[in-house]
Amino acid sequence: MTKESPTIGVLALQGAVREHAAALRSAGAAVEMVKWPGQLAGIDGLIIPGGESTTIGKLMVKYGFIQTIRDFAASGRPVYGSCAGLIAVAKKITEGSDPWLELMDIEARRNAFGRQQESFEAELDIPVLGATFTGIFIRAPWIEIAGPGVDVLAEFDGHKIMAREKNILVTAFHPELTNDTRIHEYFLSMINERTQ
Amino acid sequence: MAEEGTLRVKTGLAEMLKGGVIMDVTNAEQAKIAEDAGAVAVMALERVPSDIRAAGGVARMADPAIIENIMKTVSVPVMAKARIGHFAEARILESLGVDYIDESEVLTPADENNHINKWDYKVPFVCGARNLGEALRRIGEGAAMIRTKGEAGTGNVVEAVRHMRTITNEMRGLTVLGEEELMTAAKNMGAPFDLVRSVAKTGKLPVVNFAAGGIATPADAALMMMLGVDGVFVGSGIFKSTDPSSMAKSIVEATTHFNDAALVAKVSKGIGDPMRGMEISEIDEKDLLQTRGW
ipTM value, please give it.
0.94
Q: Give every CB contact of residue B110 below 8 A, 6+ residues apart in sequence.
A: B83, B84, B85, B86, B89
| Per-residue pLDDT band at A88 (split at 50, 70, 90) | very high
Contact A115 B257 (CB under 8 A): no
Burial of B259 per CB tally in 10 Å (0-12, 13-18, 19+): exposed
Is any Cβ of chain B less than 8 angstroms from the Cβ of A139? Answer: yes
- Residue A18: count of CB within 10 angstroms of its CB: 18
Residues 49-68 of A with CB under 8 A from B: 50-52, 54-55, 58-59, 62
Active site members of A: 83, 174, 176
Q: How many CB atoms lie within 10 A of CB A30?
A: 14
Q: Note whether B122 contacts A: Cβ–Cβ < 8 A.
A: yes
Q: CA A50 to CA A11: how far, in whole Å?
A: 10
State the best of B8, B121, B250 to mutate against chain A, taking most chain A CBs within 10 Å: B8
Chain centroid to Cα A131, Å, comes to 20
C-beta atoms of A51 and B40 within 8 A: yes
Please return the burial class of A146, using the count of CB atoms within 10 Å of its CB with bins 0-12, 13-18 and 19+.
middle
**Which residue type, as a one-letter code, is found at position A177?**
L
Q: Does B120 touch chain A (CB under 8 A)?
A: no
pLDDT recorded at residue A5: 86
Rounded to 10 degrees, the C-alpha dihedral A128/A130/A133/A138 comes to 10
Least Cα separation, residue A116 to chain B (angstroms): 5
Residue type present at position A192: N
**What is the average pLDDT across B6-31?**
97
Q: Is the pLDDT of residue A2 over 50?
A: no
**Which of B18, B22, B209 to probe the A interface (max A CBs under 10 A)?**
B18
| φ and ψ at residue A157, rounded to 5 degrees | 60, 30
Nearest CB to B4; choose among A17, A51, A118: A118
Residue-wise pLDDT tens digits, A117-171: 999 999 999 999 999 999 999 999 999 999 999 999 999 999 999 999 999 999 9
Around A121, how many Cα atoms within 13 Å sit in the side-chain half-sphere? 17
Catalytic residue check, B118 = no
First to last CA, chain B: 39
Give the C-alpha separation, A76 to A145, whole Å.
23
> Active-site residue among B32, B72, B81, B201?
B81
The CA distance from B56 to B133, in Å, is 29
pLDDT digits (tens, 9 = 90+) for A16-64: 999 999 999 999 999 999 999 999 999 999 999 999 999 999 999 999 9
Residue whose C-alpha is closest to residue A119's, from B95, B8, B117: B8
Query: What is the SS3 assignment for A10-46?
Result: EECCCCCHHHHHHHHHHCCCEEEEECCHHHHHHCCEE
**Residue A60: predicted pLDDT:** 98
The C-alpha of B13 sits at a distance from chain A's nearest C-alpha, in angstroms, of 6
Domain ranges in chain A? Answer: 7-195
How many whole angstroms separate alpha carbon B102 and alpha carbon B147?
10
Strand A90-93, strand A45-48: pairing = unpaired
Nearest CA-CA partner of B60 in B23, B102, B1, B107? B107
- Give chain A's length: 196
pLDDT at residue A195 greater than cutoff 80: no
Q: Across-strand partners of A47?
A: A10, A80
**Mean pLDDT within B82-107:** 98
Cβ contacts of B1 on chain A, cutoff 8 Å: 122-123
Q: Is residue A3 scored above 60 in pLDDT?
A: no
Q: What is the DSSP string of chain B?
A: -EEES-HHHHHHHHHHHTT-EEEEESSHHHHHHHHHHT-SEEEE-SS-HHHHHHH-S---PPPHHHHHHHHHH-SS-EEEEEETT-HHHHHHHHHHT-SEEEEETTSPPS-SS----GGG-SS-EEEEESSHHHHHHHHHTT-SEEEE---TTS--THHHHHHHHHHHHHHHHHHTS-GGGHHHHHHHHT--HHHHHHHHHHSS-SSEEEB-SS--SHHHHHHHHHTT-S-EEESHHHHTSSSHHHHHHHHHHHHHTTT-HHHHHHHTTT--PPPPP--GGGS-GGG-STTS--
Best of A119, A161, A178 to substitute, by most chain B Cβ atoms within 10 angstroms, is A119
CB contact under 8 A, B75 and A54: yes
Fold that domain A7-195 belongs to in CATH? Rossmann fold (3.40.50)
Residue A1's pLDDT band, with cuts at 50, 70 and 90, is: very low
CB contacts, 8 Å: A62 with chain B? 253
Q: State the CB neighbour count (10 A cutoff) for residue B200.
A: 20
Whole-number Cα distances in Å, A55 to A62, A163, B253, B270: 11, 24, 10, 22
pLDDT tens column, A97-118: 899 999 999 999 999 999 999 9
The closest of B221, B211, B209 to B251, measured between CA atoms, is B221
Q: Does B18 sit within 8 Å of A14, measured CB to CB?
A: yes
Percent of chain B with pLDDT strictly greater than 70: 100
Residue B97 φ/ψ, nearest 5 degrees: 90, 20
